[in-house]
Amino acid sequence: MTSKILNNLLTNINLQSYEWCSEDEMLYNIKQENYKAIEHIKYMISHDGYDKHGPKSDIYDIFIWHKNNNKFYIDSYHCEEWYDFGSKPVFEKEYTYKILYEKEWKNLIKCNNNDFFLKLRESKK
């Protein structure tokens, strides 16, 4: 069951919609998680496969900052919608980052997208 907090946060990201895939379908896997203490959500969209007509896909990432048993985590979800294929862009969990210190965990919220990815990858090592 999805918590009210998670539902509200996901509603506020203004996710791109497609006639062949509902927002509920896209977010199904995220909504199945049993998050108890969510601090923040970061939503990012980029594109890939550029040609003279523009991008060929939408690439989405959602990161969820959450606590569990006084430990700090960021869950990473990813999906892609390739315009030529009409696929269903359903978010899948890619990775759960365990962040050792609360200060570092909170500072990642403030990072711009490029710095965020670099620092998040560093925490994975």
- Predicted local confidence at residue 92, as pLDDT: 93
pTM of the full structure = 0.83
pLDDT class for 1, splitting at 50, 70, 90?
very low
- Predicted local confidence at residue 66, as pLDDT: 94
Q: What span, in angstroms and rounded, lies between the C-alpha atoms of 36 and 68?
A: 7
Q: Write a three-state SS string for 27-89.
A: HHHHHCCCCCEEEEEEEEEEEECCECCECCEEEEEEEEEEEECCEEEEEEEEEEEECCCCCCC
79-92 pLDDT, tens digit each: 988 877 667 788 99
26: tokens are 């896209």
11-64 pLDDT, tens digit each: 888 777 777 778 888 888 898 888 888 999 998 888 877 778 777 788 889 999
Q: Residue type at 71?
A: K
In the sheet with 71-82, reading across from the earlier edge strand, the strands are 37-48, 57-68, 71-82, 92-99
Degrees to nearest 5, angle at CA 80 with 78 and 86: 145
Q: Which residues of 73-89 are buried (b: 16+ CB within 10 A; e: fewer)?
A: bbbbbbbbbeeeeeeeb
More confident residue, 100 or 4: 100
Number of residues that this document lists for the chain: 125
